[in-house]
Amino acid sequence: MLLVLANICFVPLLGDTNAQILMRFKASLSNNNALNNWVNESSLCSWRGLLCNHTDQTFYGLRLENMSLGGNIDVDTLFELPTLTSFSVMNNTFEGPIPEFKKLVKLRALFLSNNKFSGDIPDDAFEGMTKLKRVFLAENGFTGHIPKSLANLPRLWDLDLRGNSFGGNIPEFRQKVFRNFNLSNNQLEGPIPKGLSNKDPSSFAGNKGLCGKPMSPCNEIGRNESRSEVPNPNSPQRKGNKHRILITVIIVVAVVVVASIVALLFIRNQRRKRLEPLILSKKENSKNSGGFKESQSSIDLTSDFKKGADGELNFVREEKGGFDLQDLLRASAVVLGSGSFGSTYKAMILNGPTVVVKRFRHMNNNVGKQEFIEHMKRLGSLTHPNLLPLAAFYYRKEDKFLIYDYAENGSLASHLHGRNNSMLTWSTRLKIIKGVARGLAYLYESLPSQNLPHGHLKSSNVILDHSFEPHLTEYGLVPVMSKSHAQQFMAAYKAPEVIQFGRPNVKSDVWCLGIMILELLTGKFPANYLRHGKGRNNNADLATWVDSVVREEWTGEVFDKDIMGTRNGEGEMLKLLRIGMFCCKWSVESRWDWREALGKIEELKEKDSDEEYYSSYVSEGDLYSRTMTKDEFSISVTN
């Protein structure tokens, strides 16, 4: 009888639909006005923030970001959703300890970044979540140790814990290969585990107590002092011999030192004469040197660096020292290219790093030296896996030199358009655009006072390393550039609002991102599709060409032939194409901002076909198929 009653009591619960469960979850949230379209009468996949599989309309995730939501996250209610595998409440106002997400054992992605969560996370907080792959807890107030259950997740490959107050040692992570890994700006200490020694140093920046590769070496504690004793001769004869030998050695050493100094000064003087001017030799092929044809002409850098009392080499990052101005002048150098701003060359410093030197002839002379130095130091403090770090600069009033780290695989432009261009696969192109979007998003966050945090985003300013990870360069220079030169040559000043109204907007860099997306997908060089004018009819850019192709219903002709044969990738390519078009909207109001663009790009699949990587377009009524008509692709760039 009791069993029967128990079954009767559970009938309503088992009969609840996903819609009813979600309505109960909504009721537990405060400030939930953003979810006003959650009504039982409408289709579940049209509800804001719901992720659905675009093929069969199966609900699989919640993406409730940037909605000012608060209150309690009712995990028990979420547990009743059998298909929930992805959960995101990033950029909201949730606070207090982390909820008991370990009850949601089917979760594959958990995003809690940019809230007000706080307190220690229990060691068993992620126990049993064997399917969890992506964990983002950045920019909260978490304290205590990194939970062992998190480190033991067998499938974890995206982890972002930056900007908290985690302390203690970094645990040994079971997973050794990560797509993204970031523990920066915490209070961690002690040696970095060997399994993480191959990570980028920026992953650990801001933890003063950390040591070991890839950071500074750990100080050895308790190092044994040498116990070897110097014999103490007892006989006067041995003592006298010792004194005579010591005096002889001192005289010989002094003579050798003086002779060496004289010889060194003579050789150095002769070498200086030979270094004027410095001849940049052609030593590498165009692919490894950035995809530009190397110049055989000489550049008088030696005299340029010496002219004027203002000239000095200023390092903006302490860890990138190890060479000085003279080392740079003596370096074997190769011309990488010459553009509208000046020359670029690669310098291979003897017994030192290889760096890229960019010469700028059109910096704003109205910017004072101290103001320029402060701006360079700010740029030098930026650390992100997708930025090419600024190492140093050389200041002169007439022109300036910026010294960057070197990445060996050349520019994206060289791979897309160079004579020896390599075939970039779909997965590589997607990896590149995701890295570009992440780097640009970091610049927006780090340089909030600048309308154009990059200002010159284009494929030749995206440098690839050995694994084709992209690194943005020439970023953040608008405040120190000549206004007239910026308007004439910088990429962001080609955006429609600049051509039409004469001034850039906070979304102008997003327009550049959109053009780069289209360039990656089409293999077309943007400059070939650009005509300058004051009206829409006189401004035909790459986005306009793509739009015209789509409207003629031959969308397949848009894509680069090198990626057209990608198996099971056509749908994702179409999604990225649509993202690019939304970033290239003529109307600034209709154009996506950087957050929305990044969010959509992050949803795209690379190799993993798991549900959490499907796009959330379906929640906005945008259905994709492998063939699309112009009605389905109605995103005219002129709207």
Q: Which of 405, 438, 467 is the last residue of a domain?
A: 405
pLDDT tens-digit readout, 326-383: 777 777 778 877 776 777 888 888 777 888 888 887 776 677 888 888 998 899 889 9
According to DSSP, residue 363 is labeled B
Residues 378 and 513 in one domain: no
Has residue 215 been placed in a domain?
no
Residues with Cβ within 8 Å of 570's Cβ and at least 6 positions away in sequence, in order, are 626
What value does the CA radius of gyration of the chain take, rounded to a whole number of Å?
30
Distance in angstroms (rounded) separating the CA atoms of residues 371 and 589: 34
Has residue 276 been placed in a domain?
no
- CB burial of residue 208 (10 Å; 0-12, 13-18, 19+): exposed
Element (H, E) at 462: strand 462-464
Q: What is the pLDDT of residue 445?
A: 93
Residues 106 and 192 in one domain: yes
319, amino acid identity:
E
Has residue 482 been placed in a domain?
yes
**CATH number assigned to the domain comprising residue 100:** 3.80.10.10
Q: What is the mean pLDDT of the chain?
A: 76
**CATH number assigned to the domain comprising residue 399:** 3.30.200.20
Residues 368 and 469 in one domain: no
Residues 202 and 165 in one domain: yes
Residues 34 and 109 in one domain: yes
Q: Which of 207, 237, 264 is the last residue of a domain?
A: 207
Residues 442 and 535 in one domain: yes
Decide: helix, strand or coil at residue 257.
helix
Q: Which residue has the tokens 């035909």?
A: 540
Number of domains in the chain: 3
pLDDT tens-digit readout, 106-117: 999 999 999 999
Q: What is the pLDDT of residue 556?
A: 57
* Residues 50 and 44 sit within 8 Å (Cβ to Cβ): yes
Q: Which domain holds residue 454?
A: 422-607
Residues 397 and 426 in one domain: no
Residues 400 and 435 in one domain: no
**CATH number assigned to the domain comprising residue 542:** 1.10.510.10
Q: What is the pLDDT of residue 482?
A: 81
pLDDT at 296 exceeding the cut of 80: no
pLDDT at 171 exceeding the cut of 60: yes
The answer to whether 358 is a known ligand-binding residue is: yes
Has residue 410 been placed in a domain?
no
Output 237 or 222, whichever has higher pLDDT. Answer: 237
Percent of residues, the chain, with pLDDT higher than 70: 70
DSSP β-bridge partners for residue 394: 313, 401
Residues 474 and 337 in one domain: no
pLDDT at 29 exceeding the cut of 50: yes
Backbone angles phi and psi of 211, in degrees to 5: -150, 170
Has residue 375 been placed in a domain?
yes
Has residue 140 been placed in a domain?
yes
Has residue 393 been placed in a domain?
yes
According to DSSP, residue 413 is labeled H
Distance in angstroms (rounded) separating the CA atoms of residues 19 and 562: 44
Whether the link from the prior residue into 233 is cis, omega within 30° of 0, is: no
Q: What is the pLDDT of residue 613?
A: 39
Tell me, letter by letter, the H, E, C secondary structure of 207-241: CCEEECCCCCCCCCCCCCCCCCCCCCCCCHHHHHH
pLDDT at 223 exceeding the cut of 60: no
Residues 54 and 129 in one domain: yes
Residues 343 and 449 in one domain: no
Q: How far is CA 415 from the centre of its chain?
A: 20
Residues 56 and 203 in one domain: yes
Q: Which of 356, 374, 405 is the last residue of a domain?
A: 405
Has residue 115 been placed in a domain?
yes
